[in-house]
Amino acid sequence: MDALVFALLNGVIYGLLLFMVSAGLTLIFGMMGVLNFAHASFYMLGAYFAYALQGLVGFAPAVVLATVLAGAVGAGVERFFLRRVHRHGHAHELLLTFGLSFIVAETIKLLFGNQPVDYRIPPALDVAAFVVGSQQYPAYRLLMGGVALAMFAVLYLLLTRTRVGIIVRSAIYKPRMVEALGHNVQLVFMGVFAVGAALAGLAGAIAGAFYTTSPNMALEIGVMVFVVVVVGGLGSLGGAMLASLLIGVMTSFAVGVDRSLADLFAVVGARDWAEGVGGLLTLKLSSLAATLPFALMLLVLLVRPSGLMGSKN
Amino acid sequence: MIHLRQSIVPMALFAAAAAQAAPVKIGLLETLSGPQASTGQTYRSGVRYAVEKMNSAGGWNGQPVQLVEFDNQGGPAGASDKLKAAIADGVQIVVQGSSSAIGGQITDDVRKYNLRNPGHEIVYINVGAEALELTGERCNFHHFRLTANAQMRTKVLVQGMKQVKALGTKVYSINQNYSWGQDMERAIVDNAQAGGYQVVEKTLHDVNKIQDFAPYIAKISASGAETVITGNWSNDLLLLMKAAKAGGLKAHFGTVYLDQPGNITNAGDLALGHFVAHTFNAEAGGSDGERFVADFTAKTGHAPVFVEPQAVYGLEMVAEALRHTKPANGQLDVNAFARAMETTRVKTPMGEFSMRAADHQLMMPLVVSMVSKDAKYKADGTDMGFKPVKVFSAEEASVPVQASCKMQRP
Amino acid sequence: MAHMRTSIPLLLGGVAVLVALPLLLSAGLLNASVQMLIAALFASAYSLLSGRAGMLSFGHAAYFGVGAFATVHAMNALNGTGLLPTPLLPLAGAGAGLAFGVVAGWFATQRTGTAFAMITLAIAELLHALAPQLRGWFGGESGISTMRMPAWGLNFGSTTQVYYLTLAWVLAALALLYFHTLTPPGRLTLALRENEHRLRFLGYDVHGLGVSAFAISGLFSGLAGALQVVSNESANYVVFDAGVSASVVLNSYIGGVTAFLGPALGAALMTFFGYAVSDATQAWLLYQGVIFVLVMMFMPDGLVGLLAVIGRLVRTLGIRAAPLMAGWLLAGLLLVAGGVFLVELVQRLCSQDYRAMARVGEAWPAVRLLGREWLPAAAGTWATVLLPLAAGGGLLAMVHGAQRRWLTEGAK
C-alpha cells in the first residue's frame, strides 16, 4: 500500500514537472505552429541563470530573475530569429530552433564547463514534508508540484477570463481577423513566446536545484516534453496537463513492475517457449520504464493524431 | 598548461628520413566534444601530462614522443574514421579510455587492420574502457587494458566495505541496462558468497534517461537492503543518490564512479559515508603519492582527479615498455613493443603494476575509499574528500582470466 | 532542376574528379571522402521524401540503421560463401530499408504534417530505446562487428578499394534517384507536396503514393547505411540516435532541397566540416550551430539557392559583380576570423584549468592561441577581436548597400 501511494505521489510530481516545461511549448505550438526544438534550452537557461544569480541575491529572487531573463531571451529569439524565417515554412523554423538549441548548449558549456554545477536546494527548503512507512517525502517536491499547479491555474485563468487571454486564443484560430480588428498580432506572438520561454525557465530554475544542472539537461528532458505535447494535443493546455500526469504516473508505476511479456505467456502455459525466443518477449517492464512514453506517443499518433485533448483541424 | 596539439608531420618526410630515427607517435582518440566530453577531456589531460614526462625523460630513440589528438565526435563511427586518419598520420600507438562502446570499435578495427597489414601493426592502449568482453571474447594481442574492470572493482569494493562493517547482509544491486551495468550486476551476484551477503533484488534501468529515481528508492526501501551497490555514473549516480537522500534512505552506497568531478559538489553532505572503488588515492600513496600530486598540480594547474592518475600510470607502463624496445630500422616495431609490454612492471604510489600476458589485463592495485570530511585531499573544491579505507594489492584485486579469451599471438 | 540543364559537362567533370580522388588525397582524407559520399546519398534519399514529397520526416536514422544492421548480419551470416559477395552486400541493406520503409510508411503516411513528423520521430526513438536491450539483433553497447571478405579478385582491404565500391554504389543510386524523378510516380510526388487534396480528387491513390515515396526513400537510406557498414565493418545502435536524424535534415536544407544535388552537396560539406574542424577546436559544435542558424536565416534556399543568386547577380551586373563578390567574401572572412577568435578566447578564459591558475596568481595569466600568448588584460588582445568584427561588419553593410543600389540601377 505504501509503495502504491509513493508511486502515485512520485508519478504525479514528476508529471507536474513535465507539465511546467511543456505548457509553454504547447501554447507556442498552438499559437504559431512552431515546434520549438529550443524550448528545452530555455529550461536549461533558467537553471543556469538561477545558479549564477543564487550567489548574489539568494534563492527565491534568483528563481524570479531567472524566469524573467529566460522570458527575455525568448522574446529576443522570436523577434530577431523566428520572425525572419516564418515565411519560409515550418521546416526552416524547426531547423532554426534546432540550430539555436545547439548554440545555447555549447555556449553554456563554453562558459560553465562540461561538468554538472553546484546548484542546490537551499538548506531551509531541504526538509522532509512527511513520512510514510520508512520513507520520507521531501518538502521541495511538494513545492515543485505546487508551483506547477499554480502555473496551470494562472495560465488557465489568464487565457479564459482576461481580455489578453481572449485575444491570444482568437489569434490562435484566426490571426488575420484579429489583426484586422486592430490588435498587434506580432506583439501577441512575441508575448506568447516570451511567456512560454519564461515558464520553461521557471521550471528549470526550480527543478535544476532538485535534479542536476548540467549542459545536457536540455537533451534529457527535451524529448520527453515533445512526447507530452504530442500525446496531450498540440495547443491544448488541459491536454498537456493530462498527458504529463499520465506519463509521470506510468513511468513511476512501471519501475515497480518486474514482469515481461513472457509472464503474460505463462498464463496460457507458453512461458518456456517465450523465454526461449527471448528478445522482446523477455524484456522486463521495469527496465523499459523510460521507453514506454514513446510507445504511448506512437499509439496516440496512430489512433488519435490530434492528441488526447487536441482539436481536430 | 594550455597548448594545442602537436602538428602532423607528413608521411613524405618520414619516407625521406628513413635512414634517421623516426619518432613514435601516440594518437589520442577521445570524445572531446558533445555530451560525454567531460570524461574524454579528463583522459586527455592525464595523457598529455604523461607524454610530457616521457619527453622530459628523453623520449624514445633520441626523439620526443609526439602526441596527436583526435576527436571521435562522440561515437563509434567517428572513432573508426579518426582511427583511419590516425593510421594515415603514422600513429602506431592509439590511446582511448572514455567509452567501452568506442573501445570495442577500436579494438576490432585495430585487429582487422593488423590482419590486413602485417608488418605495419598498430596497438590499442585502453586506459579506461572497462567492458569485460575487451579481455574476454574480443581479447586481442594488440590491445592492452590499463584499467580495471567490473569484476575487479566489485571484488575490492565488497571486501573493503565488509572490512569496515558497512556491508551488511542484504545488498541491493541497481545498474544501467547496458554491457557495463550488466557486468556489474553479474559481479555483484558472483561476490555474494565471499562478501557474506544476499542480493535481495537486482534492477537494471535505462541509461541516462531517468530523471526521477524516487520509484527506485521506494523499491530499495521496500526490500530492506542495508547496502546499495551500483556501477552508475554521471547523472544516473548523482540523481540516484539525491533521490536516496530525499527519501531518507539509510543505506550505504558502494559505487565505482563517485569520484567523477561534479558528483561531490552536487551531492554535498549526502555523499558522506558512501564508498567508491577507484584506482588512485593520493592519501594512501604516501610520499610518492604526495610528490605525484604536487608535480601534476604544478604542471596542469589542478590536482589529479578521477581517471587522470590511471591514465598517467598506464602511459608509464607504455613508457617503460618503450624503454625496453629497440628500434628496428629506425622505427618502432609494434610487435616487439607489445611483447615488451607483456613483461613490463612499474612502481606506482599505490603498488606495483604488471601485465598479464594471457588476456592483456593490467594487474593493478585498487583502493576503496569513503567520503569523509577527514580526508587529506579535498575533492571538487568542497570540504569533503576520499579517505582511503583499504588498498588492495594487484594480486588481491585480480580476477582470473576469462575462458572466452582465445588470444592469437603473432 | 535549374542547373541540370547547363551542366552535363560539369557533371562529367565532377565524376572524373571523384574517380581520380584516391590519387590526389591522403588515406585519411580518402576515408573522409567515403563518409561524405555516404552522407550525400543519405541526404538525397531523405530529400526525396521531404523536399519533393513535402513530408518532413524526423526519424530517418531508423531506415539508415535498419539497413546497416541488416548488412552487418548478412556479412556475418554469409561470410564470403559467395551467395552475396562483398560488392553486392549493400543490396541486403537496401532490401531491409525498403521493407521497413514500407511498414513504417504505411502507418506514418496516414497522417500529414506535424503528426507525420512526430510518428517518424516516435518510430526512431522507440528503435533507439529498444535496440540496446535486444542484444541478439543490435549487439548491445559495443554493436556488432564483421569483416569484409575478398570477392571478385579484390581483397577489399585498402581504403582505395572501399572508396571505389562506395563511389560506384553512390553514383548508381543517385542516377536511379534522378531517374525516379523523371518517371510518372516520381512526378506525382511533387504533386503530393503541392496539393494533396487535388491529387485525391483526380483519382490517384494518395496513400499508396505516400507509401511508395517513403519506401523508396527508405530503400536508399538503407543502402547508405549498408555502405557505412561495409566501410566501417561494424554497426552500433547509436546509429538510431536523434542526432543522426537531425543531421540528415540539416544537411539537406543547408544544401538546398530545390535542386536534385543540393542535399548531396550540403551533406558532403557538413560532413567534411565536422571531420576537419572537430580536431582543430573544442567549440566546433558551436560553430556548427551558428552555421545552421545563419543558413536558415540568410540562405533559406541553401547553398543551391546561394549559387542561383550569384548566377543572377553575374547575369545582371556583368563584370561589376566581381568586386561585389570580393567584398562579400572579404567581409565574411573578417567576421569569421573575429568571431572564431572571440569564441576561442572565451573558451580558454572560462576553462577550468585557466580559472584555477587565475585564482592562484594576482594578474590573469596569458592564454595560448594560434601559437602565441595573449594577455586578457591587454588592449591588443581585444583589438584583435574587435577590429575584424567591426571591419567585417562595416564592409558587409557597404557591400549590401552597393549591391542593392546597383541592382536597382541595373533594373532600370
Phi, psi angle pair for B316, to nearest 5°: -65, -40
Phi, psi angle pair for C364, to nearest 5°: -75, 125
- Which conformational region is residue B119 in: left (phi greater than 0), alpha (psi within -120 to 50 degrees), or beta? left
Confidence check: pLDDT of C257 > 80: yes
* Residues within 8 A of B (CB atoms), C 4-43 only: 26-29, 31-32, 35
Q: Are B203 and A286 in contact (CB < 8 Å)?
A: yes
| CA C380-C385-C387 angle, 5° bins | 85
Closest Cα in chain B to A224: B209
Q: What's the whole-number mean pLDDT along residues C236-241?
A: 90
- Regions in chain A scoring below 70 on pLDDT: 1, 133-134, 276-280, 311-313
pLDDT tens by residue, chain B, 410 residues: 333 344 444 444 444 444 457 889 999 999 988 878 888 999 999 999 999 999 999 888 888 999 999 998 878 888 999 999 999 999 999 999 998 889 989 999 999 999 989 989 999 999 999 989 899 989 999 999 999 999 999 999 999 999 998 888 999 999 988 778 889 999 999 999 998 999 999 998 888 778 788 888 888 988 889 999 999 988 889 889 888 888 888 899 999 999 988 888 888 888 899 999 999 999 998 899 999 999 999 888 888 999 999 999 999 999 999 999 988 888 899 999 999 999 999 999 999 999 999 999 999 999 999 999 998 888 887 889 999 999 999 999 999 999 999 998 88
Query: Structural domain of residue A86, as residue ranges?
Result: 2-258
A98 touches chain C (CB under 8 A): yes
Q: Mutation test of the interface with chain B: which of A101, A118, A210, A291, choosing the one with the most B Cβ atoms within 10 A?
A: A118
The stretches of chain A forming alpha helices (DSSP H) are 2-32, 39-57, 59-77, 83-85, 90-112, 139-161, 163-173, 175-180, 185-210, 217-232, 237-255, 261-266, 271-277, 292-303
Confidence check: pLDDT of C147 > 50: yes
H/E run at residue C235: strand C234-235
* Residues within 8 A of B (CB atoms), A 262-291 only: 284, 286-291
Q: For residue A105, give Cα distances in angstroms to A110, A222, B243, C246, C251.
A: 9, 12, 26, 16, 20
A110 touches chain C (CB under 8 A): yes
Count the residues in chain B. Answer: 410
Q: Mutation test of the interface with chain B: which of C133, C142, C281, choosing the one with the most B Cβ atoms within 10 A?
A: C142
Contact C115, C58 (CB under 8 A): no
Confidence check: pLDDT of C290 > 50: yes
Domain-located, residue A7: yes
C140 touches chain B (CB under 8 A): yes
Phi, psi angle pair for B227, to nearest 5°: -135, 145
Contact C371, B4 (CB under 8 A): yes
- What is the model's pLDDT at position B211? 79
C149 touches chain B (CB under 8 A): no
Q: Are B221 and A133 in contact (CB < 8 Å)?
A: yes
C376 touches chain B (CB under 8 A): no
Q: What is the CATH number of the domain that holds A66?
A: 1.10.3470
| Residue-averaged pLDDT of chain C | 87
Contact B129, B110 (CB under 8 A): no
Question: Regarding predicted confidence, which is higher, C41 or C31?
Answer: C41
Of the candidates A104, A75, A43, A5, the residue with the CA atom closest to the CA atom of residue A228: A43
Q: What single string gives the DSSP state of each residue in C151-162?
A: BTTB---SHHHH
Instruction: Count residue pairs from A and B with Cβ separation < 8 A.
Output: 116
- What is the model's pLDDT at position B11? 43
Q: How far is B206 from chain A (nearest CA, A)?
A: 6
Residues of chain A contacting residue C110, judged by C-beta atoms under 8 Å apart? 302
The x, y and z cell numbers of residue B285, run together, are 600513496
Which residues have C-beta within 8 Å of that of residue C71, sequence separation ≥ 6? Answer: C89, C90, C92, C93, C96, C225, C226, C229, C230, C235
Specify the CATH number of the domain C25-285.
1.10.3470
B73 touches chain A (CB under 8 A): no
- What is the model's pLDDT at position B381? 79
Residues of chain B contacting residue C274, judged by C-beta atoms under 8 Å apart? 73
Q: Are C284 and B179 in contact (CB < 8 Å)?
A: no
Residues of chain C contacting residue A96, judged by C-beta atoms under 8 Å apart? 292-293, 296-297
B400 touches chain A (CB under 8 A): no
- What is the model's pLDDT at position B159? 93
Reported as a single tens digit per residue, the pLDDT across C79-124 is 766 678 888 899 999 999 999 999 999 989 888 877 888 889 889 9
Q: Mutation test of the interface with chain A: which of B211, B233, B239, B250, choosing the one with the most A Cβ atoms within 10 A?
A: B211
Residues of chain B contacting residue A8, judged by C-beta atoms under 8 Å apart? none
Among B242-246, B352-356, C24-28, C334-338, the range with the most confident prediction by mean pLDDT is: B352-356
**Count of alpha carbons within 13 angstroms of residue A103, beta-carbon side:** 16
Of the candidates A25, A23, A26, the residue with the CA atom closest to the CA atom of residue A306: A26
Question: Regarding predicted confidence, which is higher, C155 or B121?
Answer: B121
Q: Are B265 and A118 in contact (CB < 8 Å)?
A: yes
- What is the model's pLDDT at position B20? 57
Residues of chain A contacting residue B236, judged by C-beta atoms under 8 Å apart? none
The pTM assigned to this predicted structure is 0.87
Residues of chain A contacting residue B71, judged by C-beta atoms under 8 Å apart? none
Domain boundaries in chain C? 25-285, 308-411
Instruction: Name the pLDDT band for C362 (thresholds 50, 70, 90).
Output: low
ipTM (interface pTM): 0.84
Crossing angle of helices C284-298 and C262-278, in 10° steps, is: 150
Closest Cα in chain A to B261: A115
Q: How far is B302 from chain C (nearest CA, A)?
A: 7
The reply to whether CATH 1.10.1530.10 applies to domain B11-148+286-363 is: no
Pairing of β B170-176 and β B227-230: parallel
Residues B231-270 as b/e (b if ≥16 CB within 10 A, e otherwise) read: bbbbbbbbbbbbbbbbbebebbbbbbbbbbbbbbbbbbeb
Q: Are A252 and B215 in contact (CB < 8 Å)?
A: yes
Q: Are A110 and C130 in contact (CB < 8 Å)?
A: no
The x, y and z cell numbers of residue A56, run together, are 548574489
The stretches of C59-158 forming alpha helices (DSSP H) are 61-78, 90-108, 113-130, 135-138
A226 touches chain C (CB under 8 A): yes
B211 touches chain A (CB under 8 A): yes
Q: Are A3 and B214 in contact (CB < 8 Å)?
A: no
Q: Name the domain count of chain A.
A: 1
**Count of alpha carbons within 13 angstroms of residue C349, beta-carbon side:** 13
Reported as a single tens digit per residue, the pLDDT across B242-258 is 888 888 888 999 999 99
Residue among B209, B214, B263 whose CB faces A290 most closely:
B209
Q: Are C233 and B302 in contact (CB < 8 Å)?
A: no
Q: How far is B37 from chain C (nearest CA, A)?
A: 9
Domain-located, residue A277: no
Domain boundaries in chain B? 11-148+286-363, 151-278+365-397
A partners (3+ CB pairs within 8 A) are B, C
Specify the CATH number of the domain B151-278+365-397.
3.40.50.2300
